[in-house]
Amino acid sequence: MADVCNYDILKNEKYGRYLVANKDLDCGELIFTDTPIAVGPKPDTPPLCLGCYCPVESTLCSRCGWPICGSECEKSPHHLPECDVFSQAIKVRFQPVDDWTASSPQLDCITPLRLFLAKEKDPERWNRDVAIMETHTEERKKRPAWEADQNNIVNYLIDRCKLGDRCSRELLTQICGILEVNAVEIPSRGGFSIRAVYPRLAIAAHSCVPNIVHSIFQNDYQVQIRAAIPIKTGELLHMSYTHVLSPTIVRREHLLESKFFCCDCPRCADPTELGTHLSTLKCTKCDNGVILSSNPLDSDASWNCTDKKCEFKTSGAAMRKMLGVVQAELDQLDALEPGPQAIEMREATLHKYKSVFHPSHAILLSIKHALAQLYGRVEEYSIDELPDLVLERKAEFCRLVLKTLDVISPGDSRMRGMMLYELHAPLMYLARSEFSAGLITQDKLKDRLQEPIQCLSEAARILRREDPISPEGITGNIAYQSMEQLKASLESL
């Protein structure tokens, strides 16, 4: 693919370097592609093959003794340069672990080492694209991770791996900062999350209502950046550094912790999150009001009931603690294997918190998003055996997620494409059920099936831009085939 460059780089005090469109962009239009200067394990990762990033329990590279799943990955271009470093060092060996799910701090040095080796290989690209990246060194010195990085990465590579004659502690400290501030988490071929540094993607500014989306391709982990919505010449290109279905408190804490800035975007500044109520709680003291932050841009601001007659008030600290407790419950739900229990426990959690959170709160919406994907896909809940009531519930959850995305992540996002695909099935089965029961005519059935066809058409359009071997890319091709089949069945009626 020829290099596309539909952006300009500007600079100001708020964003530093940032990207703007240099032409009017259509929804879905390619803005640029980028290749990573370094890819590797993220901090606290379990033992993974350093070639394909699949889990490894005890298999080690025959040359350097670090985790590799086989001879093919020993020759991976990702692993060979570091293999030379480890092979030449004295008694540097990876220590196998009994539990491959436990974190392996020894792997923390891999991606920094790869970034250093990339600098050696292409100093021109380093000086042009990487050396100018923000590191927030002074802020990072105050974090507990600073000492760990100095011991597990800087000292380890300089002293144990004998790199002192090739690089300085200052350079490795800079590299740690570049990774912490600028690396993005991406899916690997092995299915585990890893991290990568993309020089151009790193320049894109953040917004909690992004106007660009990115797709990762397994072929060398290339990234494609597209317009999520129509964008005018000169408009900033915003991506989201956080999960869009998180409440404001969680998003802003994540951004401060990981990216060292306080987000003040319109969504963060609005107590109702642009009317989506992703942070809103029900008031348990009265029936007339809801609980909102008095100032979402101040993490210590009080949370008050909107009913002026109600005197309910709580602190920002209490709100963060409560959200932390409930999020821990959600994390346990997400760890469940897909099956009947995964559905039933989520439904029980929805019931448990329905009097606490607004129906559209991010906590409840995340559960509904998961249920929308589970209904019709697990044992005892297959799509062709779901009763109409559950089909309607699946459709309701899909529509709620899509309505929220229209506000906080408008346009052609992967989540939107997947939700449209999930929505088509209950709509189709409900229409056919009503026709079979004699409740609607054949002409009415044809009318009702237009919406699932439209859902499949949009899902295919969005998701077929993804890597064909990714779950989203596979779903996009299935959506296209299902749309063609549904159209053909309609014509035969």
Q: How confident is the model at residue 100 (pLDDT cuts 50, 70, 90)?
A: low
- Give me the torsion for CA of 388, 245, 421, 358, rounded to 10°: 20
Asked if pLDDT for residue 2 goes beyond 60, the answer is no
Q: What is the C-alpha separation between 442 and 436, in angstroms, rounded?
A: 10
Lowest mean pLDDT among 189-198, 264-273, 421-430: 189-198
Phi, psi of 222 (to 5 degrees): -65, 145
* pLDDT score recorded for residue 150: 93
Q: Shortest CA distance to 404 belongs to which of 300, 276, 283, 307?
A: 276
Decide if 196 contacts 59 (C-beta within 8 A): no
Q: What is the C-alpha separation between 137 and 149, in angstroms, rounded?
A: 12
* pLDDT score recorded for residue 38: 95
Asked if pLDDT for residue 99 goes beyond 70, the answer is no
**What average pLDDT does range 231-240 have in this prediction?**
96
Lowest mean pLDDT among 50-59, 98-107, 330-339, 482-491: 98-107
- Per CATH, is 7-30+202-239 categorized as 2.170.270.10? yes
Q: CA–CA distance from 23 to each of 34, 208, 214, 311 (Å)?
A: 19, 23, 19, 52
Do you know the residue count of the chain? 493
Using a 10 angstrom Cβ sphere, with 0-12 exposed, 13-18 middle and 19 or more buried, the burial of residue 331 is exposed
Which option is the CATH number for 269-492: 1.25.40, 1.10.10, 1.20.120, 2.30.30? Answer: 1.25.40
Asked if pLDDT for residue 93 goes beyond 70, the answer is no
Q: Shortest CA distance to 82 belongs to which of 38, 34, 44?
A: 38
152 DSSP assignment: I
* pLDDT score recorded for residue 98: 64
**What average pLDDT does range 437-458 have in this prediction?**
95
Element (H, E) at 12: strand 7-12
Q: What is the C-alpha separation between 361 and 277, in angstroms, rounded?
A: 6
Six token digits for residue 158: 């300089």
Average pLDDT, the chain: 92
- To which residue do tokens 């294997």 refer? 337
Residue 153, C-beta contacts closer than 8 angstroms, at least 6 positions apart: 108, 109, 112, 172, 176
Q: CA–CA distance from 378 to each of 315, 337, 343, 384, 399 (Å)?
A: 41, 10, 9, 11, 21
Residue 366, C-beta contacts closer than 8 angstroms, at least 6 positions apart: 245, 330
- To which residue do tokens 């408008």 refer? 410
Q: What is the C-alpha separation between 472 and 484, in angstroms, rounded?
A: 19
Own/partner pairs, 61-64, CB within 8 angstroms, 24+ separation: 63/87, 64/92
The b-or-e profile of 64-99 (16+ CB within 10 A means b, else e) is: bbbbbbeeebbeeebbeebbebbeebeebebeebee
**Coil, strand, or helix at residue 213?**
strand
Q: Shortest CA distance to 402 belongs to which of 412, 390, 387?
A: 412
What are the domain boundaries of the chain? 7-30+202-239, 38-197, 269-492
Centre a 10 Å sphere on the Cβ of residue 171 and count the other Cβ atoms it contains.
17
Decide if 38 contacts 196 (C-beta within 8 A): yes
Six token digits for residue 268: 């963060």
Instruction: Report the interhelical angle of 471-492 vs 450-463 (nearest 10°).
Output: 150
Q: pLDDT, tens digit, for every residue of 170-225?
A: 999 999 999 999 999 998 877 788 999 999 999 999 999 999 999 999 878 999 99
- To which residue do tokens 């998701």 refer? 463
Helices (H), 141-270: 145-149, 169-182, 248-259, 266-269
Q: What is the C-alpha separation between 416 and 400, in angstroms, rounded?
A: 11
Asked if pLDDT for residue 1 goes beyond 60, the answer is no
Helices (H), 409-436: 414-436
**What average pLDDT does range 140-166 have in this prediction?**
91
Q: How confident is the model at residue 393 (pLDDT cuts 50, 70, 90)?
A: very high
